[in-house]
Amino acid sequence: MYVNLKEMCQKAREGHYAIGHFNVNNLEWTQAILQAAEETKSPVILSSSEGAGKYMGGFNVVAAMVKALMESMKITVPVALHLDHGTYDGCLKCIRAGFSSIMFDGSKYDIEENKAKTSILVNAAHVNGLSIEAEVGAIGGEEDGVIGMGECADPKECAEIASLGVDILAAGIGNIHGKYPENWAGLQFNVLEEVQKATNGIPLVLHGGTGIPDDQIKKAISLGVSKINVNTDCQLVFADATRKYIEAGKDLEGKGFDPRKLLAPGKAAIVELVKKKMELFGSVGKA
């Protein structure tokens, strides 16, 4: 079932679990995540950054690939296709390309400009049946070549953006993209609590899902986080499994160099990782 993410995230918020958002980079990634979702009967969000969309040949290609795979793999669980950290123009392109959801990352603008652009995109998304995520307070680390420091969102600004009608809200709470540094201070739960109180029950998003200790993930879910974004973890297990295959010399045995064999261990590693994340987030069986 190809859906937007409004209803799945609202249900998750009411049921005190979270939906996994997994970035896709190619065909194998997409197949692996869909397989894990179907086998665990878990709703799932597939997501493309602007850079990954370009890499795969454009947003039209991504949307067509996801929809065609859902059909050929006989996927029955709810699946949303979301734009991750979209620009204003990127959001409009994804609406046209047939995504079911967009994220407008207006965190680099001042709050008035973020509000003005978010407001236009809320309308454009909703008239076309898409859901929309907005962001307040930059998420730190590096995402698609964009570097930001870990930041905490201002709950008042979160309330202002939430009131524009966005379906879900990403608020910085000290989380960062990529691997966490040794001296990371952890998630700022006091900020998360204030954001939750200020935003009137809107489902919240936790970016930078790689490397956050399990107990902090669970606490964040208990405080209203209903969508958790994971990207780097999938990249790490994929690279690790591929390296092991090559270091074991398997690409030199028979037709081990065939990409269908070469990429198989990485793909299997993503299936396993995504299933584990879904268990941790509590979304297994919720489809």
C-beta closer to ligand 13P: residue 48 or 199? 48
* 168-171 vs 146-148, strand pairing mode: unpaired
Q: Is 115 near ligand 13P (CB under 6 A)?
A: no
CA 81 to chain centre: 9
CA nearest 166: which of 209, 199, 138, 189? 199
Among 230, 263, 269, 278, binds ligand 13P (CB under 6 A): 230
Among 208, 224, 265, 282, binds ligand 13P (CB under 6 A): 208
How many of the other CB atoms lie within 10 Å of CB of 15? 12
Q: Is 226 near ligand 13P (CB under 6 A)?
A: no
**Mind telling me the catalytic residues?**
84
Q: Is 210 near ligand 13P (CB under 6 A)?
A: yes
C-beta closer to ligand 13P: residue 73 or 223? 223
> Which among 122-130, 230-238, 243-251, 275-283 is the span making contact with ligand 13P, rule CB under 6 A?
230-238
Among 78, 209, 224, 282, binds ligand 13P (CB under 6 A): 209
Task: Report d(CA 263, CA 118) in Å as an integer.
Answer: 39
C-beta closer to ligand 13P: residue 245 or 269? 269
Burial of 165 (0-12, 13-18, 19+ CB in 10 A): middle
H or E, element range at 92: helix 88-97
Among 6, 207, 227, 277, binds ligand 13P (CB under 6 A): 207
Region of residue 238 (left: phi > 0; alpha: psi -120 to 50; beta: else) = alpha
Tokens found for residue 239: 């690279």
Q: Is 106 near ligand 13P (CB under 6 A)?
A: no
Distance in Å, CB of 102 to ligand 13P, minimum: 13
Among 101, 131, 199, 231, binds ligand 13P (CB under 6 A): 231
Distance in Å, CB of 238 to ligand 13P, minimum: 13
The contact pattern for ligand 13P, residues 13-32, with x = CB under 6 A and - = no contact, is: ----------x---------
C-beta closer to ligand 13P: residue 47 or 242? 47
Residue with tokens 């730190």: 140
C-beta closer to ligand 13P: residue 115 or 177? 177
Binding site for ligand 13P (CB under 6 A): 23, 84-85, 177-178, 207-210, 229-233
